Amino acid sequence: MNFSELGLCDELSQAVADLGYKEPTPIQEKSIPYVLMGRDILGSAQTGTGKTASFTLPMIEILASGRAKARLPRSLILAPTRELAAQVADSFEKFSTYHKLSMALLIGGVSFADQNVALSKGVDVLIATPGRLLDHFERGKVLLTDVKVLVIDEADRMLDMGFIPDVERIVGLLPPLRQTLFFSATLSDDIKKLSDKFVSNPKVIEVAPPASTADTVAQHLVWTSPKGKRAALRDLLRSEDVKNAVIFCNRKRDISTLVTSLKRHDFSAVALHGDMTQSARLDALQKFKDGDVPLMIASDVAARGLDIAGLSHVFNFDVPGNAEDYVHRIGRTGRAGKSGRAFTIAASEDDRKYVGSIEKLIGKHIPLIDADNNAESAFDSKAKSPAGKSRGRGRSSAAATPEKDTGDAKPAGTAPAHEDKADEKKANAGRSRGGRSRKKHENAPGELPAPPECSGNTLKDTGHVPAFLLR
């Protein structure tokens, strides 16, 4: 099936073809015809399945006729985060190449004046975060009485972030006769109860089991010590063919420390988290999208909705405490039918519990990398002996006591790194503690081996500079 068979006009079909898309994804195939019919939609699909196009494409078709009036947008798309709103705006611009439709993006961290200018000219599509939209409304700069189509995107995230009261207030400002498209990553009981407030006799569309991970993502688990996490990450970055990668941290304060540490080892990386100014966030994201910087260290603010074309890897430097966040994180790669790889670094008893929750949610084990195997072989199941032991001669992998960075493999987009003398001592110490081979993960979900014990002075034995010295 092609896009023209879904009822889209030739101009839209051409715009989609120009972008390299040949066939619609399941969520697009099932949603677009009903949106064109004017039906309310209650849609659920795992991240990375083309959910944004499933509502932007038919909206462009619907809005092709008609003219916007000053301060009276004809359609409204609500998104929970600035990044997701900007992503939707980018998609709209690409798909509307052959249509003369206007668009305005209302997000925080951007000048009110520029946004007011766009609103005063009249917009066909208004894309906004709830807070910034209400700010404009209270200033009398926008009216919502002419909205024909409403989209509530990532509704589950809206719920988690406490935005529902704002969304309810906004919906109360809209005309009762409208089309509403309600999308969520999951259709939990809470989400279904919430949707009843916004949609009328919706067409329910689910294209994937709740909280499932895409088959296109190869998942791996690395078990190390708390002091060995950074070295484990560096080993993975050098061992893998990393084109570009998002590295997730649980705490914003750890992001800057990790960026500094990676740069010290000759990796090119940028940070993305909620405490950055909007201009800094957009600049970092643009550098990453353009390929100028191959590594982005991010908080979960980047886990939802962001579409990074051709993202090859996702690394969980910290195991997420919420199992669903794991699904959304690794869903940044392996999108649109392409393959991707996801690595999670576990290092504590809490991590053990979190991994168990994740495996229970996704319904399968996450393969554990052999601790004493060669890094390249560890990622290749064919390199394992029948007993699940390493073949013996390889250097200690990322999951073992961290080894010196040898520089034999290049980090993504950088020259080979040269480790300092502290790393040399740490690697030798790791080798002197013996080379017992560990078996593959064969236990029940979450049953992991005890983390390797670390002893001695941190700076001397691990090569890691204390975090406060890296700030």
Strand extents, DSSP E, 145-294: 149-152, 179-184, 203-206, 217-223, 245-248, 269-272
Looking at residue 386, its pLDDT comes to 31
Q: How far is CA 407 from the centre of its chain?
A: 29
Looking up tokens 């409403």 gives 150
Tokens read off for 401: 């006591």
Looking at residue 209, its pLDDT comes to 63
Q: Is 272 helix (H, G, I), strand (E, B) or coil?
A: strand
Distances in Å between the Cα of 348 and the Cα atoms of 258, 330, 448, 463 are 18, 21, 10, 20
Question: Digits of tens for pLDDT over the chain (471 positions)?
Answer: 788 899 999 999 999 999 888 889 899 999 999 999 999 999 987 666 788 999 999 999 999 988 889 999 999 999 998 888 998 999 999 999 999 999 999 999 888 999 999 999 999 999 999 999 999 999 999 999 999 999 999 998 898 889 999 999 999 999 999 999 999 887 888 899 999 999 999 999 988 665 677 788 999 999 999 999 999 999 999 999 999 999 999 988 899 999 999 999 999 999 998 788 878 888 998 899 899 999 999 988 665 656 777 899 999 999 999 888 898 889 888 876 788 999 999 999 999 999 999 999 888 999 998 543 433 333 343 333 333 333 333 333 444 334 344 333 444 444 444 434 444 444 444 444 444 444 444 455 555 555 555 444 433 344 444 454 444
Tokens read off for 375: 């890094």
- What is the Cα–Cα distance from 162 to 325, expressed in whole angstroms? 17
- What is the Cα–Cα distance from 136 to 116, expressed in whole angstroms? 8
For the chain, domain boundaries: 3-206, 217-470
Q: Is 42 helix (H, G, I), strand (E, B) or coil?
A: strand
Q: Output phi, psi for 295, to 5 deg.
A: -120, 130
| pTM for the full predicted model | 0.61
Q: Output phi, psi for 392, to 5 deg.
A: 110, -45
Q: What angle do CA 133, 277, 94 make, to 5 degrees?
A: 60
Q: At what angle do helices 82-95 and 51-63 cross, to 10 degrees?
A: 50
Strand extents, DSSP E, 8-54: 41-44
Tokens read off for 381: 């199941």
- What is the Cα–Cα distance from 471 to 467, expressed in whole angstroms? 7
Looking at residue 285, its pLDDT comes to 87
Looking at residue 309, its pLDDT comes to 75
Q: First and final CA of the chain: distance in angstroms?
A: 53
* Partners of residue 180 on adjacent β-strands: 150
- CATH superfamily name and code, 217-470: P-loop containing nucleotide triphosphate hydrolases (3.40.50.300)
Q: What angle do CA 153, 213, 90 make, to 5 degrees?
A: 35
Q: What angle do CA 113, 144, 195 make, to 5 degrees?
A: 120
- What is the Cα–Cα distance from 346 to 12, expressed in whole angstroms? 46
Looking at residue 211, its pLDDT comes to 62
Looking at residue 440, its pLDDT comes to 44
CB atoms within 10 A of CB 447: 13
For domain 3-206, the CATH class is alpha beta
| 3-206 matches 217-470 in fold | yes
Q: At what angle do helices 349-362 and 323-330 cross, to 10 degrees?
A: 70
Tokens read off for 66: 């008609």
Looking up tokens 């600035």 gives 82
- What is the Cα–Cα distance from 205 to 34, expressed in whole angstroms? 10
Q: What is the DSSP string of 290-338?
A: TTSSSEEEE-GGGTSS---TT--EEEESS--SSHHHHHHHHTTSS-TT-
- At 72, the amino acid letter reads L
Looking at residue 325, its pLDDT comes to 85
